[in-house]
Chain A
Amino acid sequence: MAAPHSPMHQFEIKRIFPIDFFGLDASFTNASLYMVIAVVLIAGFLILAMGRRALVPGRVQSIAELSYEYIANMVRETLGEEGMKYFPWVFTIFIFILTLNLLGLIPYSFTVTSHIIVTFAFAAMVWIMVTLIGFARHGFGYLKLFVPEGIPLALLPVIIPIELISYLIRPVSHSVRLFANMMAGHTMLKVFAGFVISLGFIGGWAPLAFLVAFTGLEFLVAFLQALVFTVLTCIYLNDALHMHH
């Protein structure tokens, strides 16, 4: 339990409807609430934007089409045309994380992606999916991923464990990046907000100006981290689909 004025207070999870699922705590928390809000927002926005498909798109339809095209191009570039069947999955990951990041920037709201367990669940899902796809496509030949071509035989006992560890560490680095960026950014915002209050009416303007600028930067970080998460998903998928290193 963090004190109400501590920078960590904003990350506290509160139970809204306590649910006990056979001894497991499956309560509907504020984190679940924000995920539901994100899903409703995304579905509502895309249905509204694409409901009236005009040939010359309006403002709302343009946003939907731009985001679709952006991710579609990225998938086509990294995975090729055959990778387009994974596009719905990649697009879902991108738009869900982006919406959660942006929802967190609204004052007094809750940032779901600032919790390591949430981002780790995303990253673990990606990792398990990629590994399954790799084995389904290449059979045991997928293990050749750990043996890079053109390496002298004497180096193999060193290279294979390194490759194996770097493969196994993927979900960790994948999730910690998103989590640490969101958490550090929001903590910093709160710390500087505390400076505004403690410096008072005279001295508080400097941290307030910084706070405004930093909030702008946080919007960039929210977008960039969602994008980086998606790009890495594409790259891992590319490893599984094409196996060239």
Chain B
Amino acid sequence: MELEAAKMIGAGLACSALIGAGVGIGNIFGNYLSGAMRNPSAAPAQFTNLLIGFALAEATGLFGLLIALIILFG
């Protein structure tokens, strides 16, 4: 039972990696929006870059989630 409890706590701790993903994704979309407001004509061209940044920011958080899933179900 001790191990089971430690696993649960560990999985919860691993999910805290998603804090960073949340901050990162918010940062990227917020900055994109403020940039797009300043220069709306340049915004569509940067949409691909926006998605790349979003994907990279999310990936780091998802590694934490993956660890949590491995702990719980692996």
Chain A interface (Cβ < 8 Å from any Cβ of B): 74, 77-78, 172-173, 176-177, 180, 184, 227-228, 231-232, 235
Contacts and interface: CB of A to CB of B under 8 A. Distances in A.
Interface in B47-66: 48, 51-52, 54-55, 58-59, 62-63, 65-66
A180 B51 contact: no
Contacts of B51: 227-228, 231
A177 B48 contact: no
Given A180-B62, A231-B48, A232-B55, 9 more contacts: A176-B62, A177-B58, A180-B65, A184-B65, A228-B51, A228-B55, A231-B51, A232-B52, A235-B52
A73 to B, nearest CB: 10
B48 A173 contact: no
B66 A228 contact: no
A177 B52 contact: no
B48 A228 contact: no
Contacts of A177: 55, 58-59, 62
8 tightest A-B contacts by CB?
A173-B59, A231-B51, A176-B62, A228-B55, A180-B62, A176-B66, A228-B51, A180-B65
Contacts of A228: 51, 54-55
Contacts of A235: 52
Interface in B26-64: 48, 51-52, 54-55, 58-59, 62-63
B62 A231 contact: no
Contacts of B66: 172, 176, 180
A231 B62 CA distance: 18
A78 B62 contact: no
Contacts of A77: 48
A77 B49 CA distance: 11
A83 to B, nearest CB: 13
A161 to B, nearest CB: 18
Given A177-B55, A228-B54, A228-B55, A74 B48 contact: yes
A180 B14 CA distance: 14
5 contacts: A77-B48, A176-B63, A176-B65, A231-B55, A235-B52
A228 to B, nearest CB: 5
A74 B47 CA distance: 10
A78 B54 contact: no
A173 B56 CA distance: 9
Contacts of B55: 177, 228, 231-232
Contacts of B63: 173, 176
B52 A231 contact: yes
B45 to A, nearest CB: 8
A173 B52 contact: no
Contacts of A180: 62, 65-66
Contacts of B54: 228
A119 B24 CA distance: 24
A177 B58 CA distance: 7
